[in-house]
A and B are shown apart, each in its own frame.
Chain A
Amino acid sequence: MNTDLKYMTMALIAASAITGCKKDEEGTVTPPIVNEEEVITTMILAFDGQGAAADKELRFTDADGDGGGAPVFALDTLQATSDYDVSVILLNETASPVDTISNEVLDESTDHQFFFQPTGANITVAYADVDVNGNPIGLQTTMATGAASTGTLKVTLRHEPDKAAAGVVDGDITNAGGETDIEVEFPLVIE
């Protein structure tokens, strides 16, 4: 019995030495700050007024990306019965200098397409750009407002949509497939 105890003590000491020898190391590896490269913090619909219409802007900003703080909208009112040339601008404002993500979409234009779905507001949208295959992208569009109205404009960016599917080149998202990179519903007021 005594020898048992002696050996048990020996075992404990030996093992403590094994397990304890790591204790003196410095702290955990400090991680570097990650500047998220693919985050889209900001989406701007830049309305270039044609004729008498003034330039307008619809802006969505989620300064810390997905999760964290809630996003905010900054919204102009559009002018009724007017024509606009509209550019979609995507920014990553966490990067310095600010990264223009819409250029990446343009570089991979055959794999991307924007869809615009108005609800309640009198506005029509037509694609004004094409990829190398002659299919729309949606970074450039023309929009025409009708009578004064209030509603929403849902902007969706699909990655790897099937642009050959029925209705897709005309802006119908139903058969587009692919996966959603962006889905923002802008409140819209036309006066």
Chain B
Amino acid sequence: MVASFSVCAQVVAQQPCTLAISGQVVDEHDATALDFAEVLVLGTGRSVLADEEGRFHIDGLCAGRYTLRAAHLDCEPVELNVIVPQKGEVRIRMEHHSEQLKEVEVARQRPDENVGQAHEELDKSAMERNAGKTLAEMLATIPGVNMLQSGPTISKPVIHGLSGNRVLTLNQGIRQEDQQWGTEHAPNLDPFSSDKLTVVKGAASVQYGSDALGGVVITEPIELPREAGISGEVRGIGLLNGRGSGGNGLLQGGVKGLRGFGWRLQGSGRVIGDSDAPDYVLSNTGLRENGASASMGYRDHRWNASVYYSWFQRELGILRASHIGNLTDLNNAIASGTPWYIGEFTNDIEPPRQDVRHHLLKAEAGYAISERDRLVLTYGYQADDRQEYDLRRGGRSGTPAIDLFLATHTADAVLKHWIGEHVHGKVGVSGVYQENTNVPGTGIRPLIPNYRKESGGVFLLEHYPISPKVEMEAGARVETTRLDVAKYTYDNVYITPQHDFNNSAFSLGANWSVKDSVRMRFNASTAYRPPHVSELYSEGLHHGAAAIETGDATLTSERSVKVAADLEAVWMKGKLSTDITLYADRINDFIYLRPAGVQLTIRGAFPVFQYVATDAFLHGIDATVRYHLTPIWSIRSRTSLVRGRDLTKDEWLFQMPSDRTESTLLLTLPEAGKWSALEFSISGTVVFEQSRIPVGLDFTTPPGTYHLIGLSATATRTLSKGELRIGLQASNILNTTYRDYMDRFRYYADARGTDLTLWVRYSFGNH
């Protein structure tokens, strides 16, 4: 059955936010109406239910770009970008199982939604606006998501106060495994390889397995073309701060006479030199990235199969002045207020530096067992090859101080099925086999030992639409993990300890469309995370942190229960829209580093930090409010607050993001001359001083409140049968000097000054 979805938008009147879209949802296969499909206007909280003839009407809309999503019980949801007011008719043909497949203009199959989970998306236009930034920087524009940084080059996403191994990243549907335990290890994936990021802001272990405590970052695969012809795009980026440049090229096509077959090639690169803080160069903060991916696949009404391979390489410098010898140096750095090493600008990257290569191979096959049931098998292989070079004596700076090779196999089998008329869902098994190897030759005792990890899980997740307005989802997973460690102790005794972790997770969620303009989501779910080998077996000096870190082999799995409620609503006939998420997260056996005395070494005295477990409680609020002043002018405000308490010690948790709010004034013009979809914005961000800190865990007091101002402009036009989009993005335009609490290098240097990014995207072809 082919679902087609046609929309015609019409201008009702040129008054504030009184525009409307109406249309019809039809089954393209036989052109009959699809009854009672749900049509959502993303980002506004508006949704309506189509009638028996598939007709729907949404009014109270302002001028601007919207994404509509239509969902129907028998079809995968489909999304469509529209500009309101819309001239003429927009058509989307969505691929489904039919031989009468027509050309696909805009089509995307969504993974199963996490019912009741608050989630937010960075769509294609949001991602292109942030081109040239790291994945974490892009995600940090979402309320509830922050960044944990180690200088300008390394950043990790923080969701609802949790990061590292407590945030799961799904790259192309595969669990990303890239030594994410290290705070100075950024996710190794190419932001250009996807054009949409989704953040699930909730515990989601049922769906995705361990580690999904804080949330899940999903880089969604771009659907392969199915029709003959070639299309593609070229992107170029220039960055002022760091004098960097980057680019991406994509080419995709189908084969004539082989409907359903498609291929894609993509390659990208990014080179950035030393960044500038307002008053000095941040020496050795250059970056070089290269990525490439190739995929091909076939799909018909019964079968689908695809192969995807990506390679990503990143070499980055670590701020020279952050390399310190001992606590005295750290205290000197804090007292002096400026980096002890400031050189001339250069593109060169010297030790301390990291060099990482990440390979991902994914193979997927699906088979429609019946009209409604589908079996999908997925296999993924990842190789993560990491070398970290330190400043070393005796000409050893060219020998890696850390040389790790992490190989991970993942395999999943999922049966998407229906039980009776209403209940549908999926049941699946998943397995992970992982081996971590310290490549010999570093001449340094390994930071983390060699290990092998095997885990296997079974899960069940079922949706039940109670009524057209209320959908429920419930699920459960059991998983067992075995960890085999092989290492030498400090006394050079060889040990091979083994750990078994058995865990289970449950979830219960509901989506409730209270009325057309009000939609609520509730979710209560559990998640788990077995301790990482670094938390069990770290033993030694962590140079970057000027601390001796000691693992505890008796630690058990972290277990969390998270409850979240999300309210999306539209008020005042569409002029005001709000999206508010409230959450509370209780984590038992929360693992963190706690001071445990001082130890004398030849480098001087070092504080000792021991991995310990406590019970933690996090809660917070994310809010987005948008108000349309006129059809083209609007203001938007985004705020995130998070609070984390250590329940055992009765004190605040360390390194929790401070309060943050961003206000933006937006101007959206449907067209101006040859240009269309013009967007201009100016935004002000306030990040407050973190006043909720534990005693004795930090080396200095948190940095003060800071304000930043940014600008953005985007425009589109057609150019020789293709579409040209250009944009300009400026951040910290007042060149404000500041340091951020969530930047581990705040002890050593100020954050980046003014940055200006210019990007151009040209897309061509008819896919």
Is A107 among interface residues, defined by CB-CB distance under 8 A?
yes
Whether B604 lies near A180 (C-beta < 8 A) is yes
Whether A27 lies near B413 (C-beta < 8 A) is no
Give A17 Cβ to nearest chain B Cβ, in Å: 9
Interface residues of B in 438-467 (CB under 8 A from A): 438, 440, 442-446, 449-452, 454, 456, 458
Select from chain A the residue with minimum beta-carbon distance to B415. Answer: A11
Whether A179 lies near B329 (C-beta < 8 A) is yes
**Interface residues of B toward A: which range?**
35 or more
Select from chain B the residue with minimum beta-carbon distance to A161. Answer: B340
Main secondary structure of the interface of A (DSSP, over half): loop
Question: Which residues of A lie under 8 Å from residue B87 when comparing CB positions?
Answer: none
Question: Which residues of A lie under 8 Å from residue B409 when comparing CB positions?
Answer: 22
Interface string of A56-99 (1 = CB under 8 A from B): 00001010111111110000000000000000000000000000
Question: Which residues of A lie under 8 Å from residue B541 when comparing CB positions?
Answer: 66-67
Q: Given A38-B392, A105-B393 in contact, is the A19-B456 Cβ separation under 8 Å? A: yes
Select from chain A the residue with minimum beta-carbon distance to B332. Answer: A177
Is B323 among interface residues, defined by CB-CB distance under 8 A?
yes
Is B599 among interface residues, defined by CB-CB distance under 8 A?
yes
Whether B603 lies near A66 (C-beta < 8 A) is yes
Bound together, the chains give a CA A7 to CA B488 distance in angstroms of 48
Interface residues of A in 33-67 (CB under 8 A from B): 33-38, 40-41, 43, 60, 62, 64-67
Interface string of B526-552 (1 = CB under 8 A from A): 000000000000011100000010100
Whether B394 lies near A104 (C-beta < 8 A) is yes
Whether B486 lies near A27 (C-beta < 8 A) is yes
Bound together, the chains give a CA A20 to CA B482 distance in angstroms of 13
Q: Given A37-B394, A37-B396 in contact, is the A66-B601 Cβ separation under 8 Å? A: yes
Main secondary structure of the interface of B (DSSP, over half): strand
Is A132 among interface residues, defined by CB-CB distance under 8 A?
no
Give B343 Cβ to nearest chain A Cβ, in Å: 12
Whether A28 lies near B450 (C-beta < 8 A) is yes
The stretch from B78-86, B279-287, B372-380, B754-762 touching chain A is B372-380
Question: Which residues of B lie under 8 Å from residue A71 when comparing CB positions?
Answer: 600-602
Select from chain B the residue with minimum beta-carbon distance to A37. Answer: B443
Interface residues of B in 303-354 (CB under 8 A from A): 323-326, 328-329, 340-341
Bound together, the chains give a CA A22 to CA B409 distance in angstroms of 9
Whether A27 lies near B484 (C-beta < 8 A) is yes
Is A129 among interface residues, defined by CB-CB distance under 8 A?
no
Whether B452 lies near A7 (C-beta < 8 A) is no
Question: Which residues of B lie under 8 Å from residue A134 when comparing CB positions?
Answer: none
Whether A4 lies near B488 (C-beta < 8 A) is no
Bound together, the chains give a CA A4 to CA B373 distance in angstroms of 8
Bound together, the chains give a CA A156 to CA B278 distance in angstroms of 33
Question: Which residues of A lie under 8 Å from residue B379 when comparing CB positions?
Answer: 18
Is B720 among interface residues, defined by CB-CB distance under 8 A?
no
Give B301 Cβ to nearest chain A Cβ, in Å: 18
**Interface residues of A toward B: which range?**
35 or more
Whether A34 lies near B445 (C-beta < 8 A) is yes
Is A148 among interface residues, defined by CB-CB distance under 8 A?
no
Is A163 among interface residues, defined by CB-CB distance under 8 A?
no
Bound together, the chains give a CA A182 to CA B603 distance in angstroms of 4
Bound together, the chains give a CA A102 to CA B370 distance in angstroms of 75
Whether B418 lies near A15 (C-beta < 8 A) is no
Q: Given A19-B456, A179-B329, A180-B604 in contact, is the A30-B415 Cβ separation under 8 Å? A: no
Interface string of A13-25 (1 = CB under 8 A from B): 0111011101100
Is B431 among interface residues, defined by CB-CB distance under 8 A?
yes
Bound together, the chains give a CA A31 to CA B492 distance in angstroms of 11
Bound together, the chains give a CA A55 to CA B609 distance in angstroms of 41
Give A80 Cβ to nearest chain B Cβ, in Å: 29
Give A160 Cβ to nearest chain B Cβ, in Å: 8
Select from chain B the residue with minimum beta-carbon distance to A180. Answer: B325
Is A12 among interface residues, defined by CB-CB distance under 8 A?
yes
Whether B325 lies near A159 (C-beta < 8 A) is yes
Give B167 Cβ to nearest chain A Cβ, in Å: 24
Whether B599 lies near A179 (C-beta < 8 A) is no
Interface residues of B in 353-407 (CB under 8 A from A): 369-370, 373, 375, 377, 379, 391-394, 396
The stretch from B200-208, B422-430, B565-573, B585-593 touching chain A is B422-430
The 8 Å CB contact of A67, one of B341, B490, B494, is B490
Bound together, the chains give a CA A183 to CA B540 distance in angstroms of 18
Interface residues of A in 155-190 (CB under 8 A from B): 158-160, 177-184
Whether A70 lies near B599 (C-beta < 8 A) is yes
Bound together, the chains give a CA A36 to CA B393 distance in angstroms of 13
Give A39 Cβ to nearest chain B Cβ, in Å: 9
Bound together, the chains give a CA A135 to CA B66 distance in angstroms of 69
Whether A67 lies near B450 (C-beta < 8 A) is no
Question: Which residues of B lie under 8 Å from residue A43 when comparing CB positions?
Answer: 602
Is B417 among interface residues, defined by CB-CB distance under 8 A?
yes
Whether B413 lies near A11 (C-beta < 8 A) is yes
Question: Which residues of A lie under 8 Å from residue B491 when comparing CB positions?
Answer: 64, 68
Give B607 Cβ to nearest chain A Cβ, in Å: 12
Whether A64 lies near B490 (C-beta < 8 A) is yes
Q: Which residues of B contact A (CB under 8 A)?
A: 323-326, 328-329, 340-341, 369-370, 373, 375, 377, 379, 391-394, 396, 409, 411-415, 417-420, 427-431, 433, 435, 437-438, 440, 442-446, 449-452, 454, 456, 458, 484-488, 490-492, 494, 496, 539-541, 548, 550, 599-604, 606
Q: What 5 pairs between A and B have smallest CB-CB spacing?
A: A19-B431, A15-B413, A180-B325, A183-B604, A37-B443
Residue contacts A-B, CB under 8 angstroms, 23 given: A1-B419, A8-B427, A11-B375, A12-B429, A22-B409, A28-B450, A28-B496, A30-B450, A30-B486, A33-B492, A38-B396, A62-B602, A65-B445, A66-B540, A67-B540, A67-B599, A70-B600, A71-B601, A108-B393, A179-B325, A179-B391, A180-B324, A182-B603
Q: Which residues of A contact B (CB under 8 A)?
A: 1, 3-4, 7-8, 10-12, 14-16, 18-20, 22-23, 27-38, 40-41, 43, 60, 62, 64-71, 101, 104-105, 107-108, 158-160, 177-184
